[in-house]
Chain A
Amino acid sequence: MRDAWTIATKDLRRRLRDRTAILVALVLPFGLAYIFSLTLGDIETRSFEATFAVVSLDSGHLPDEFTSLLESLDFVSLRDAATETAAETLASDGDVDAAMIFPQGFTADVQTGRGSAIHVITAPNARIAGLVAESLATSFASNLDATGLSIATVADSGAPVADTLTARAQAVTPGAEIRAAGAEDKSGSQSTFFAIGMAVFFLFFAVEFGVRGVLEEREEGTLSRLLVAPILPSSVIGGKALASFAVGLTSTVLLVIATTWLLEARWGDPLGVALLVLFGVLAAVGVTALVATLAKSTAQASAYVSIVAVVGGLLGGTFFPISQAGFLSTIRFLSPQGWLMEGFQELSYGGSAHDIVRPLSGVLTIALVSGTLA
């Protein structure tokens, strides 16, 4: 064991001097997690917001009801516009995303069944907000035939008409926003997902240098010197595995800390995370070692490991969530990355170590099988 440790410390010293190892083990995964969180994460979670102007040329109460409806929506801000021309100017200048104009006599026309129209003017670069404005107005208008009675009924019951309309308007609120809000609770933040994904993805590259170390020693000519030394051949293998394990463990732990601190990622139960990291690093060492045994040179070993890391990473959902992706959601468990993502995400949802027994077992099985075969 002491000889293996001597070899491992030598390898670690060399890796520290090799800046690419630090790049692959720490800088790249953290950097990508940060970039993905900033870009993809922002797109996914940013709330939809719109600024509308309502112009009422009508003296009745329906425009006020509609305004009340808009005021009740979190994503809508209102600007004042006294005239139709003022509203058109606001929209054309982009000061509002859309302006909705109630014509004179609107309330009376609707209540007497003569019908009327709400004019919606959309700003040139606010296509989505314009669609939302149209939807809201359409929803309001399409309910008015029935609401002629319902408004009266609701009014008689003493409940505000706006409540009913708000509920209906919510139904036409863009679904993505509702879904995004719902998904937030279950999947944790996007930064958490990408922190986990990048840590798992790059783990296999981080441990790779060690498992191809024997081939590297052979190419450098130092393997013969090691084998002539009074140590067991297994010490050489053990030293390489130990160094791989140390790098994988260190890089993953540092990534957990860094992404928690800097990206506000929520990894979850520390015990569960520790167990999963430990087993995950073992599996990564085992799988990459097994792959490296098929190679005849370090270049070939790197290529093989890269293929396994990338395919396994994609299959395991390190870049994109695939837990709902039908066939992929099943075969992802062929890869250790799939089990790791499952476990880490469960923890980030608020699960405990007890809840990740299945992914832990999956990862450990892969570690044992691949390590033994290697």
Chain B
Amino acid sequence: MDPSLVLECEGLRKTFGDRVAVDDVGFSIAPGETYGLLGPNGAGKTTTISMICGLLTRDTGRVSLHGRNLDTGTVEVKADVGFVPQEIAIYPDLTARENLRFFGKLYDLSKPELDVRIDRILDMIGLADRENERTDDFSGGMKRRLNIGLGMLNDPKLLVLDEPTVGVDPQSRNAILDSVEALAGEGMAVLYTTHYMEEAERLCDRVGILDEGTLKAEGTRRELISLVGEHDRLRVEAHGNVGAAAAAAAAVAGVDEAIPHDGSIELLARDVRGSLAQIVRAIDETGTGITSIEVREPNLEAVFLHLTGRALRDEGPAEA
């Protein structure tokens, strides 16, 4: 146990019947650090943070907050955790201020202190002018912002956000990401789950790549990308038999991965510029028409592809 770390967890395992949802997951987060759990839907992200927050009992493993054991039912330690669930968790028939006040009372805050915090949160999430309106009159984005504000109300040492931008418009999404960045800048440790690679790259100091319940890799963006090696990432927009085209491209020397999607193929290749002509020819020979080709620097999407053989936002490769 390292008390200088905000969160330490190791060996987390959770099964539902015969299905292993999370297996041997462990990581740590330092103060002011934002740690991202990146993985597709069903990877085990929500199960992992549910165990960390005490919402689910774990089969095995250990969780500690500033060196103190964070078990289910440990009331005192929970006071240092803020939680933003994936679904909007607010009372629709209460106003924004009433929602904040109710949850604030559960954190044993005095009325003056609570009033100050509520005002600050309402300013931060841009709802100060709507504070006395019932939340069922709010837009989806406003509800999302309040959802996040409720998680920050207790000024937690660890803020856990479970895919907070799902279903959010771009403007609100940016506001949410700005808020998270600001909180981390103030020294709060943030655990952020997402299946959006862009969010993980923008927000997270370190990222754990989670797939099928196991942590495939973790590290900084640079460390993770180095796992891909000297690979380039190529995106080919195509029409026709994309599956056959991907198979043909994968057979080209230097191409390590070729994943077909709906109307496109993602490729990982060493020295893609040298093998580009062969790749184009191989695809062309399958009768698939190429509409555009884009060479990209490797990113976390490529890392995920490299580690799992699957695209981050899809459940699996498209049928060939």
Contacts and interface: CB of A to CB of B under 8 A. Distances in A.
Interface in A226-273: 226-233
A229 B107 contact: yes
B224 interface: no
A221 B87 contact: yes
A224 B105 contact: no
A225 B89 contact: yes
A18 B93 contact: yes
Nearest to A228: B83
B92 A220 contact: yes
Q: Which of B81, B98, B103 has the most CB atoms of chain A within a 10 A radius of its CB?
A: B103
B55 A6 contact: no
Interface string B63-106: 00000000001011111010101011111111000100011011
Contacts of B73: 232-233
A61 interface: no
B108 A230 contact: yes
Interface residues of A, number: 20
A170 to B, nearest CB: 64
B312 interface: no
B37 interface: no
B150 interface: yes
B219 interface: no
Given A224-B53, A225-B85, 7 more contacts: A13-B98, A14-B93, A220-B89, A220-B92, A221-B85, A221-B87, A230-B107
Nearest to B53: A228
A227 B106 contact: no
A228 B65 CA distance: 14
Contacts of B79: 230
Contacts of A14: 91, 93-94
Nearest to B74: A230
Interface in A1-33: 3, 6, 10, 13-14, 17-18
A222 interface: yes
Interface in B2-58: 50, 53-55
Contacts of B105: 6
B94 A6 contact: no
B93 to A, nearest CB: 5
B91 A229 contact: no
Contacts of B92: 220
A6 B111 CA distance: 13
B89 A224 contact: yes
B91 A222 contact: yes
7 contacts: A10-B91, A10-B94, A17-B93, A220-B89, A229-B103, A230-B107, A231-B75
A305 to B, nearest CB: 21
B78 A230 contact: yes
B89 A13 contact: no
A330 to B, nearest CB: 45
B286 to A, nearest CB: 47
Contacts of A18: 93
A221 B88 contact: yes
A230 B106 contact: yes
A18 B90 CA distance: 16
B93 A6 contact: no
A17 B136 CA distance: 13
A321 to B, nearest CB: 40
Contacts of A232: 73, 75
Contacts of B98: 13
B159 to A, nearest CB: 11
Given A230-B76, A230-B78, A230-B107, A224 B102 contact: no
Contacts of A3: 106
B169 to A, nearest CB: 20
B88 A228 contact: no
B106 A229 contact: yes
